[in-house]
Structure 1
Amino acid sequence: MRTKTTLFSILLILILLIGCKPNNEKNNSIEGIWKSIGYGKILKIDTNSYEYFDTTDISCLPAKEGDISEVKNTMQISNDTLTVKRGFSKYRYVRVNEFPEICQQNLKDKKDITYNFEVFANTFENHYAYLDLNNVNWDSLYKNSKNKINSKSTELDLYLVMEDMIESLKDNHGSIEPTDEIYELAENQIQSEIEDVETEELKEYGDFEIAGIVADYYLKEDLTKDSWLIKWGNMENNVGYIQIKTMFLYADLSLNESLVKENGFVSTYMDAFDSLDFEKQISKEVAGISKLMDTIMEDLKKTRHIIIDVRFNGGGQDVVALEILRRFNIDRKQIAVKKARHNNHYTKNTPIYLESAKNPYTKPVYLLTSQQSASATDMMALSSMELNNLKRIGSHTNGAISDALQKTLPNGWFFSVSNEIYTDKNNKIYENIGVPVHYELNYPDDRQTFFRSVANDLEKDKKNILNAINELQNE
């Protein structure tokens, strides 16, 4: 009798163990349906593929898909929470039992003006992180904007309303990208409204153009090679100078030369870049700038001090900015914290660290910034606050520090919203106000006015910088 009971007990235990095994495997598997904490995304993972969907309260749109092998190494599961890592960012997802019903419904008329407006507005209502900071009354802005849309509204009307909303929100990374046709119509309408106003014909400079003019004037010995995005070399008195035009475009993508000639470098580059999965985008950008910085630091290692000029740099990838800055960092340190808007709260804080270099440059470094130093360049300036051997000269940065949350409307237009809050280690926010300098040169706020003030007197510009350095050294 005891033998029979024992056998029965063993069989029961085996049955229970076997029955539990599939559930445990499921809980530890990345396969399934995942809902993001913040960011408005659904992630569907099968055995061999993944697919992202952008969601609002009223929409669910396919965003990106690919082979699971492309992104599997960036994913980690713990306690039924999936963490997806991209650069220093971590995006968290919780498992849901089934594909959301809204994602299974047939999409309404993709061109419907009112529906597209509502998707756009709902995204900003749920994710824009600076309503309070910018003193925006969302309910009033939404109602006033919605009243401009009716059954007779055109796509041009929709675009202009969205542009007005973004301007009212003061969203530094907010943008809307319609079709070329709609954009041209909007530009023509704006031009027709101002053509009666007489304006003085003044020279206008592009960011890269003015940066190149300044670098050519500053450099006594140009050591630049294999790059048109960064110029470096020596000024008088063994002072090193690095002119950084942008914080992206550094990946080696083996671009087709005929396509580059036909469509231009940036357009061809972005087409190739967008075809990569997130992990490769980050790794290739970092690899490209890292290789370049190895050469630059070797060339400038014997200088008295180094000037890094990012006054005309509109941004790019944060990881590129930090890869450059770490060459002046002696040990790993936390330099910032970020969190994302999630409903009426925020996601978990993500600490951001600046890695160290094997042989860092520890002599004085002077970072030149202006109101045109934006986005990833803001991030470089924010991070530089933790480097004791670095001082900032010029004027405060732009203050566009949040990442741009990229979204797509039902009609296919792309748009973005600032959904994250970056702070320094003391929880101070620099969005809008920008990162301050140690030595103020009071640059004009207006972009072209600033560019012309530099270009019209390059010697004065250089002397102002050198005088500022001299005063900082004598403090």
Structure 2
Amino acid sequence: MNIKAQLKSSIFLILILASCQRPMPNKSISGVWIQEGYGRIITIKDSTYTYFNTTENSCLPLISNGKLTDRFRIVDFKNDKLILNPGGIVDYGFTRSDKLPEYCVNHNIKKDHSPELNFNILWNTFDKHYAFFEQRNIDWNSVKIEYQENLKNIQSDKELYNLFADILKSFNDGHIRLDVPDSLRVKNVISKKNENRKTKKEVINDIVTTYLNGFKSYNNDLIQWGILKKENIGYIVITDMNNFSNYIPNQDLTAQEFKQEYEKVLETKSGITQLDDELKGVDFAMNKILSDLAETNSIIVDLRFNGGGYETVALKLLSHFIKEQKHILSIKAKNGNNYTNEQEYILNPAKNVYQGKVTVLTSHNTASAAEIFALGTMAYPEIKRFGSSTNGIFSEILWKNLPNGWEFSLSNEVYSDPKGNIYEITGVPPNYETDYPKDRTSFYNSFYKGNEFKDIGIDKIITWHNTVYK
């Protein structure tokens, strides 16, 4: 064999050996996957999965041996990277792991009530996942130093609960919750001073009967709508961002009957199907509403009484009031000392879009998914916002477990507008401000002066509308 032939043979042999040593791409989705930014792990075998919620101390299955396509859509899969979508606007990123961590395989379900252990798990979980220490002016390291001293004196679960409640209350974050046995909670006693306080239902009922020529509703008053008296202005009040699915043809059921029938149907649906049905329900309701209000030249969308729900529902509703595609917001999740990759959300107009002018009413009680609707309107300057700034809690609620069996939640996602501005705490600002009380009861009662009912928000929009457009 000549030198040239020997060289070719040697190169060929090297290439063969290199290809044998190089790991072959893994074409199977089966395996163990670590979720980025949420402290969760998913194991997949064929078409089934188990989803674990983890802390430094625990690894508890949220769902065991479920059908993957009932809970997630596969967005992308490349060897050691997996992207799943649970039916929301945020995609979840996962990295492949060789095996399930030992503490997930042999997790101890025995409760441990040690104050020190439970405090450390709480503190470390917030340290890793909570996204707004700076915005909420929380020195988390100082909290650890201060409260660790108090742990030595804790003698009961009740005392530990009071300590944790004191820590978490300082955040003033409506998405932070502590789920404990009822026996540990202090029962609220309604004072006689509040006997005459108004409820959300009463206020909304007085709005629609006082200001509208007549009104219709959908899904147990989830949405109510009509046309303002003496004005060609439509009015829609949306009280929640879930339960939109068109499951119950009979809209004349009592609230309790409707809830029971709705939940019966809901139990037969997979998680992904439930969310799909919500969006179909939005289109169903909005087609009816926009048909009834088609001759109006302006619409008021009232979100003042809306505490949130599904962000997909909120943005599906918004899509019926916009006329062009836009990047409206971005999302990232806290991931230790860093963040997950930022995701841009592009909103597309619905097939059936309102053609007139749009105004949105907000209050400090407009929260979570409802204020994601408000955040989305900022990309459309033609939509004007009236009222007070929204609540300032945008993230999905991330739930975690403590060794003693308690559960707690926190905000780990950061929502921003296309320019990178964050509205956590401050909320989405209105274009035209009304100084509504922040306290819910005071807010409801502010609609009443003696025996007179008056909605200054609607009155202000009517005046503005007649000044600008007439």
Task: Please tell me the residue identity of whatever aligns with 2:414.
Answer: I
Q: For residues 17 and 200 of structure 2, what CA distance do their matches in structure 1 show? A: 67
Q: For residues 273 and 433 of structure 1, what CA distance do their matches in structure 2 show? A: 36
Matched residue, 1:297: 290
Give the direction of change, closer, same or farther, for the CA distance of 1:48–1:224 in structure 2 (3 Å limit).
Answer: closer
Matched residue, 1:156: 158
State whether structure 2 residue 401 is matched by structure 1 residue 408.
yes
The question of whether the paired residues in 1 share the 8 Å contact of 2:247 and 2:262 is answered with yes
TM-score by length of 2: 0.86
The question of whether the paired residues in 1 share the 8 Å contact of 2:218 and 2:285 is answered with no
Task: Please tell me the residue identity of whatever aligns with 1:459.
Answer: K
The question of whether the paired residues in 2 share the 8 Å contact of 1:318 and 1:376 is answered with yes
Matched residue, 2:170: 168
State whether structure 2 residue 113 is matched by structure 1 residue 112.
yes
1:187-240 deviation digits (Å, cap 9, x = unpaired): 23x65xxx9xx8734522333442233223221121335542100111122211
Matched residue, 2:48: 49
Matched residue, 1:92: 93
Give the direction of change, closer, same or farther, for the CA distance of 1:350–1:267 in structure 2 (3 Å limit).
Answer: farther
Give the direction of change, closer, same or farther, for the CA distance of 1:391–1:97 in structure 2 (3 Å limit).
Answer: same
The question of whether the paired residues in 1 share the 8 Å contact of 2:248 and 2:258 is answered with no
Q: For residues 416 and 334 of structure 1, what CA distance do their matches in structure 2 show? A: 29
Q: For residues 220 and 140 of structure 1, what CA distance do their matches in structure 2 show? A: 58
| Segment of structure 1 superposing worse, 133-142 or 92-101 | 133-142
- Structure 2: 5+ residue stretches without partners: none
Task: Please tell me the residue identity of whatever aligns with 2:82.
Answer: L
Q: For residues 159 and 471 of structure 1, what CA distance do their matches in structure 2 show? A: 55
How does 1:439-454 map onto structure 2 within 5 Å? 439-454=432-447
The question of whether the paired residues in 2 share the 8 Å contact of 1:207 and 1:312 is answered with yes
Task: Please tell me the residue identity of whatever aligns with 1:436.
Answer: P
Give the direction of change, closer, same or farther, for the CA distance of 1:404–1:274 in structure 2 (3 Å limit).
Answer: farther
- Structure 1: 5+ residue stretches without partners: none
How does 1:104-143 map onto structure 2 within 5 Å? 104-107=105-108, 109-114=110-115, 115-143=117-145
How does 1:268-307 map onto structure 2 within 5 Å? 277-307=270-300
Task: Please tell me the residue identity of whatever aligns with 1:107.
Answer: N
The question of whether the paired residues in 2 share the 8 Å contact of 1:111 and 1:411 is answered with yes
The question of whether the paired residues in 1 share the 8 Å contact of 2:225 and 2:289 is answered with yes
State whether structure 2 residue 73 is matched by structure 1 residue 73.
yes
Give the direction of change, closer, same or farther, for the CA distance of 1:287–1:406 in structure 2 (3 Å limit).
Answer: farther
Matched residue, 1:62: 61
Shift of 1:415: 2.3
Matched residue, 2:321: 328
TM-score by length of 1: 0.85
Which of 453, 459, 468 is residue 458 of structure 1 equivalent to? 453
The question of whether the paired residues in 1 share the 8 Å contact of 2:113 and 2:157 is answered with no
Task: Please tell me the residue identity of whatever aligns with 1:279.
Answer: I
| Segment of structure 1 superposing worse, 162-171 or 142-151 | 142-151
Give the direction of change, closer, same or farther, for the CA distance of 1:463–1:379 in structure 2 (3 Å limit).
Answer: same
The question of whether the paired residues in 2 share the 8 Å contact of 1:214 and 1:455 is answered with no
Q: For residues 349 and 447 of structure 1, what CA distance do their matches in structure 2 show? A: 34
Task: Please tell me the residue identity of whatever aligns with 1:123.
Answer: T
Instruction: Compute the RMSD of aligned alpha carbons.
Output: 3.4
Shift of 1:262: 11
| Segment of structure 1 superposing worse, 81-90 or 374-383 | 81-90
The question of whether the paired residues in 2 share the 8 Å contact of 1:113 and 1:154 is answered with no
Task: Please tell me the residue identity of whatever aligns with 2:166.
Answer: D
The question of whether the paired residues in 2 share the 8 Å contact of 1:393 and 1:468 is answered with no
Q: For residues 162 and 133 of structure 2, what CA distance do their matches in structure 1 show? A: 21
Say how many residue pairs are matched. 455
1:445-466 deviation digits (Å, cap 9, x = unpaired): 2211111011444335342342
Matched residue, 1:355: 348
| Segment of structure 1 superposing worse, 312-321 or 263-272 | 263-272
Give the direction of change, closer, same or farther, for the CA distance of 1:225–1:127 in structure 2 (3 Å limit).
Answer: closer
1:12-40 deviation digits (Å, cap 9, x = unpaired): 99x9999899943xx22211000011110
Shift of 1:443: 1.2
Give the direction of change, closer, same or farther, for the CA distance of 1:153–1:104 in structure 2 (3 Å limit).
Answer: farther
Task: Please tell me the residue identity of whatever aligns with 1:88.
Answer: I
Matched residue, 1:342: 335
Shift of 1:270: 6.7
Q: For residues 177 and 81 of structure 1, what CA distance do their matches in structure 2 show? A: 34
SS of residue in 1 equivalent to 2:373: helix
The question of whether the paired residues in 2 share the 8 Å contact of 1:374 and 1:398 is answered with yes
1:110-166 deviation digits (Å, cap 9, x = unpaired): 142434333332221110000111121112212333444458633333332222222
Matched residue, 1:469: 465
SS of residue in 2 equivalent to 1:187: coil
SS of residue in 2 equivalent to 1:289: helix
The question of whether the paired residues in 2 share the 8 Å contact of 1:309 and 1:368 is answered with yes
Q: For residues 455 and 243 of structure 1, what CA distance do their matches in structure 2 show? A: 19
1:310-329 deviation digits (Å, cap 9, x = unpaired): 11111111111111111111
Q: For residues 135 and 28 of structure 2, what CA distance do their matches in structure 1 show? A: 41
SS of residue in 1 equivalent to 2:33: strand
1:254-296 deviation digits (Å, cap 9, x = unpaired): 79x9xx9998765886797588554223212212222111111
Give the direction of change, closer, same or farther, for the CA distance of 1:225–1:54 in structure 2 (3 Å limit).
Answer: closer
Task: Please tell me the residue identity of whatever aligns with 1:234.
Answer: I
The question of whether the paired residues in 1 share the 8 Å contact of 2:219 and 2:243 is answered with no
Task: Please tell me the residue identity of whatever aligns with 2:453.
Answer: L
| Segment of structure 1 superposing worse, 347-356 or 139-148 | 139-148
The question of whether the paired residues in 2 share the 8 Å contact of 1:224 and 1:233 is answered with no
Give the direction of change, closer, same or farther, for the CA distance of 1:74–1:269 in structure 2 (3 Å limit).
Answer: farther
SS of residue in 1 equivalent to 2:446: helix
The question of whether the paired residues in 1 share the 8 Å contact of 2:328 and 2:418 is answered with yes
State whether structure 2 residue 204 is matched by structure 1 residue 211.
yes
Give the direction of change, closer, same or farther, for the CA distance of 1:55–1:439 in structure 2 (3 Å limit).
Answer: same
SS of residue in 2 equivalent to 1:389: coil
Matched residue, 1:311: 304
1:91-127 deviation digits (Å, cap 9, x = unpaired): 1000010111221234163142434333332221110
Q: Work out the percentage of aligned pairs sharing the same amino acid.
A: 34
Task: Please tell me the residue identity of whatever aligns with 1:414.
Answer: E
Give the direction of change, closer, same or farther, for the CA distance of 1:44–1:267 in structure 2 (3 Å limit).
Answer: farther
